[in-house]
Each structure stands twice: as C-alpha cells, then as structure tokens.
Amino acid sequence: MNEARDRLRQAAAAFADALLDALTGEGTGAANAPADVPLTVKEVATLLHRSPSTIRGWLVAGVLAGFKLRGRDWRVRRADLQAFLDGLWPAASSHVPPGATTPPAPDPRSRPPRAQAGEQPDLSAWRKVRESRPG
C-alpha cells in the first residue's frame, strides 16, 4: 500500500512539474527543448517571410507537412519545416556555408548604350527595345 502511495505521489509531482513548466514556458526537461515544440502558422510565416494565409495554403495543399490541434489550429514540426526547406533548395542546405551571399541575376532585358556627353542619343535603339517588348 505504501509503495503504491509513493508511486502516486511521484507521478503527481512529475505531472505538477510538467504542467507548471508548460504554463510558464520554463522547463528543464528534454520535452521542453525548443526543437520539440511545434511551430504555429504565425511563427512559420515569420521565419519564411510569408503571410500566414500562404503557410495555411501550403499546409492544406500538402506542400508543407503539419498537423491540426483541436481540428482548427495548424502546427508544424521543426523537422518538417527543415525538410520543406531542403526540398526547395537541396544544394543550398548542405553546400553553401552560412552567411554566404549569391550574386544578383543579370538583367535579361538588353538596353542600348547611353549617349556620351555632347553626342546625340540613338533613338532608333530605343524603338528596337520598345518593339521587342510584348504588350
């Protein structure tokens, strides 16, 4: 009988500690590590610089893996988010060192050379550019 009471007291103390940690956001256990806590739609949107409605659309379409709480609120595991990002940029996730930048893409539109000081601009070149553009 005493053994059962001791186990019950230990379980109640562990439950009270876990509940207190969950309510205050503090904790020392592995279950409270940031990697184990699923992200909200708003947090994912902030991390990816997208709107929450875009993230919800990805979740509904199955592009981004996630799950619903209480049938309403979406949550995304950090591992699922990392898998999503690795799928978008597989080479960037493992080969590019952190903090590296990529050069800007060249402008696909060709522009005529500028007229030098004292020269007349070549307007026919602008007409060619204008005629080559659709619309």
Q: What is the pLDDT of residues 28-37, one digit of tens each?
A: 544 444 667 8
Q: What is the pLDDT of residues 65-119, one digit of tens each?
A: 999 988 889 999 998 998 888 887 655 555 656 677 777 776 766 666 676 777 7
Q: Which of 9-13, 50-54, 80-84 has the lowest mean pLDDT?
A: 9-13
Are the beta carbons of 66 and 59 closer than 8 angstroms?
Answer: yes
Buried-state track 9-22, b at ≥16 Cβ within 10 A, e below 16? eeeeeeeeeeeeee
Architecture, CATH, for domain 35-94: Orthogonal Bundle (1.10)
